[in-house]
Structure 1
Amino acid sequence: MSKPQEPHRPFFHFGNPFRAISPKGSKLSSRLVFLLATFEDSLAQKLRKLTPKSDHDVFSFLWMGLAMKLLCEIHNDVKTLIGDLELPVSDWGEKWLDEYLDISVKLLDICNDFSSDLSQLNQGHLILRCALHNLASTSSNQFVPARSSLDAWNQHISSRTSRVENRSPIMDHFEELLDLPKVKNSPKGKVLMQVMYGVKVATLFICSVFAYAFSGSSKRLLSINVPDTYRWAQAFIELQKNVNMGIKINHSSGRFTALRDLNAVDERVKKLHSMIQENIDGGMKVEECQNLIVDLRSEAEKLTQGVDHLTKQVDEFFYIVLSGRDALLSNLRSSETVFDQGMEALSTRQP
């Protein structure tokens, strides 16, 4: 994944000549009220859908995949709404543009960090496959290399490092971006900023939960207070409360990672490792060991499928952010070209 370079953006010292005259006052038309309400009701529905039904759902790859999928849908909804607002890029204020570009580049960085963490988990699966291959044989000679592979798994998982944790300033700065630029005398601008607030809250919350899940550090968790004036506020409050409850239970359990699918595999690896050692010492129950091997194979497959699915969702979100950023930069280039051509025509016009 790579990020595009930003072009030089035109700066109009005497005001943007292409800026449309916005209606004075902050009263919204019935059309703008409808667009805003439709977006906020859709956001509330998505947040309710993400609210875990039980504590065991939080930090499963199934739940995390749903979270990333909904985040993709939310950002696609924003693209649609911006088009419905008919608010050209040339009407965006300098602060809006700077903030959007700043947020988008941070989102791309975070996606890369998540992908790196998921890649480490995939590497661990290759080690497990080697162990399970050795254990498929009925020969007791295969138990020694199988134990060696399980040792390698334990070492790989315990030594993995999260890029999210190492790049914490990105998440720290993200929280500051909840403050929105001031909008005066632009009803469409006010709608856009209110919509962007909801998008940023949902994005920041999901990214912080993912950062905690991968790094295990509570420093990455955020408590976001949302005013109840937003139509989606209650749904978000309920979601945050349920996820925080799952986090507390995870802390009290003493598990080595918040990722539930990874914990399920790790618990079985440890049991199997202990049984193999018993076999080498001459005291293992063969049937019990075979049952555990089957169980480990099943959990390992679930982990792999979950990692693969979540990786695809993270990649999709990356390209949604990237395409939105590219579209904005392309429009800025077009505005700059039109402005330069207009200034050139003025300079060559004869009196």
Structure 2
Amino acid sequence: MSRPQEARQSFFPFGNPFRMLSPKSSQLSPSLLALLNCFEDTLAVRLRKLEALGDVLSLTWMKSSMESLCETHKEIQDLIAALNLPVKDWDEKWIDIYLDISIKLLDISNAFSSEISRINHGHLLIQCALHNLESNSLEQFVRAGSSLDSWRQQIRSKNARLEKCFCFLDGLEESLNLPKVKNSAKGKVLMRAMYGAKVQTLFICSVFVAALSGSSQKLLDLDVPDTHLWAQDFNRLRGNVNVTLRNRVSANSGNLLKELQGINTVVNKLYPLTQGDSVSTDEDSSRVSIRQLRTEAEKLSGGLNLLSNEVDSFFQIVLTGRDALLSSLRATCTGTDPTVGKRVGLPVM
């Protein structure tokens, strides 16, 4: 199957979501309108829940946002099943575009997993430092300084895989400007629902990249028109999150994640105490700091594990949809089942 050669590929196979706003294209049956309104109402509720959580730059918020994104992608699968749109009716170019975008989503998921693994390695350095700090040996206490210093160096370094996501976000945002194409009533419903899922995906991914890379340059500044039932909730959430992220970056506060900042605060107190031979492990201040470091390390470990699970779930949703599409195409080409594709649950991208 050949790839389209255009410099900018459109994202959705069903065209521009704003074409639904014209009188001619707004005539939907009650059943189709109910499906669309149900999707948009549910998306609005998800966005309000994320806003209510607060602590945008915490692993808890990131885990919840990825979980919300997974739910939206699963709902798109359910919507496709309810609309009963057979894959065999999709244009070849649309399918190529879908496969291309799904690969990019898999890449960005892998980039997030890579950064989580890198932070987990840093957590092992903290565990090693704690082992030495909690001993009764002055020599081991001093030795902990090496692990603490390694942590500081690693956490300041950059992940090249995350930086590659900047171009991906650019392409994803550009794909919101779609060419006009003729489409069916069912296609219009799915296309408009996909627009909502696409915006949420782009927003969440941009927040992840900013929080993990420490750069706010690719944050999404899109204002969604009020014609979408979820628009006000999205615009409010996006505005508040972006302000928080940009303020943190402009303050030159280093790591943006709350849990990493918590560890760094304690490490900066402890590291000077591990230098030299005059260190006393009996000092109350050092013992308090050691307990604080263990508490912060446990928060980091627990948060990373939960976030990693959600990122893996997102990866699997995209991969499963991609595999389902390819399987349906193979079956359609062989002509083994004339209904193939009707039950395929394809995720957003």
Shorter-chain TM-score category? 0.7 to 0.9
Say whether residues 1:44 and 2:41 are aligned partners: no
Q: Deviations over 1:124-152 (max 9, x none)?
A: 01111110001111221212211111111
Q: Percent identity?
A: 51
Asked if structure 1 preserves the Cα contact closer than 8 Å seen for 2:158 and 2:213, the reply is: no
Q: Deviations over 1:14-51 (max 9, x none)?
A: xxxxxxxxxxx742111000000000001111111111
**How do 1:274-285 and structure 2 match up within 5 A?**
274-277=272-275, 280-282=277-279
Asked if structure 1 preserves the Cα contact closer than 8 Å seen for 2:47 and 2:237, the reply is: yes
Query: Hey, what does 1:113 align to over in structure 2?
Result: 111
Structure 1: which 4+ aligned runs deviate by more than 6 Å?
Answer: none
Task: Report the CA distance shift for 1:252/1:176 in structure 2 as closer, same or farther (over 3 A).
Answer: closer
CA distance in 2, matches of 1:322, 1:282: 54
Say whether residues 1:335 and 2:332 are aligned partners: yes
Say whether residues 1:310 and 2:296 are aligned partners: no
**How do 1:133-144 and structure 2 match up within 5 A?**
133-144=131-142
**How do 1:70-89 and structure 2 match up within 5 A?**
70-89=68-87
Shift of 1:162: 4.4
1:309 is paired with a residue whose SS is helix
Q: Which runs of 5+ in 2 are unaligned?
A: 3-23, 339-349
Query: Hey, what does 1:344 align to over in structure 2?
Result: none
Asked if structure 1 preserves the Cα contact closer than 8 Å seen for 2:134 and 2:141, the reply is: no
Please say which structure displays the higher CA radius of gyration.
Answer: 1
CA distance in 2, matches of 1:35, 1:167: 33
Query: Hey, what does 2:230 align to over in structure 1?
Result: 232
Q: Which amino acid aligns with 2:168?
A: I
Query: Hey, what does 2:15 align to over in structure 1?
Result: none
Q: Deviations over 1:77-110 (max 9, x none)?
A: 0000000001111222344323322221110000
Shift of 1:284: 7.5
2:335 is paired with a residue whose SS is helix
Q: Once structures 1 and 2 are overlaid, which stretch shifts more, 30-39 or 165-174?
A: 165-174
**How do 1:169-208 and structure 2 match up within 5 A?**
169-208=167-206
Query: Hey, what does 1:292 align to over in structure 2?
Result: 289
Task: Report the CA distance shift for 1:282/1:298 in structure 2 as closer, same or farther (over 3 A).
Answer: closer
Shift of 1:170: 1.6
Q: Once structures 1 and 2 are overlaid, which stretch shifts more, 218-227 or 265-274?
A: 218-227
Task: Report the CA distance shift for 1:40/1:194 in structure 2 as closer, same or farther (over 3 A).
Answer: same
Say whether residues 1:124 and 2:122 are aligned partners: yes
The one of 216, 219, 228 equivalent to 1:218 is: 216
Asked if structure 2 preserves the Cα contact closer than 8 Å seen for 1:120 and 1:160, the reply is: no
RMSD in angstroms over aligned alpha carbons?
2.1
**How do 1:146-185 and structure 2 match up within 5 A?**
146-185=144-183
Superposition TM-score, scaled by structure 2 size: 0.85
2:243 is paired with a residue whose SS is helix
Asked if structure 1 preserves the Cα contact closer than 8 Å seen for 2:136 and 2:281, the reply is: no
Q: Which amino acid aligns with 2:35?
A: L
**Number of matched pairs:** 316
CA distance in 2, matches of 1:52, 1:98: 38
Q: Which runs of 5+ in 1 are unaligned?
A: 1-7, 10-24, 342-351
Query: Hey, what does 1:265 align to over in structure 2?
Result: 263
Superposition TM-score, scaled by structure 1 size: 0.85
Shift of 1:252: 3.9
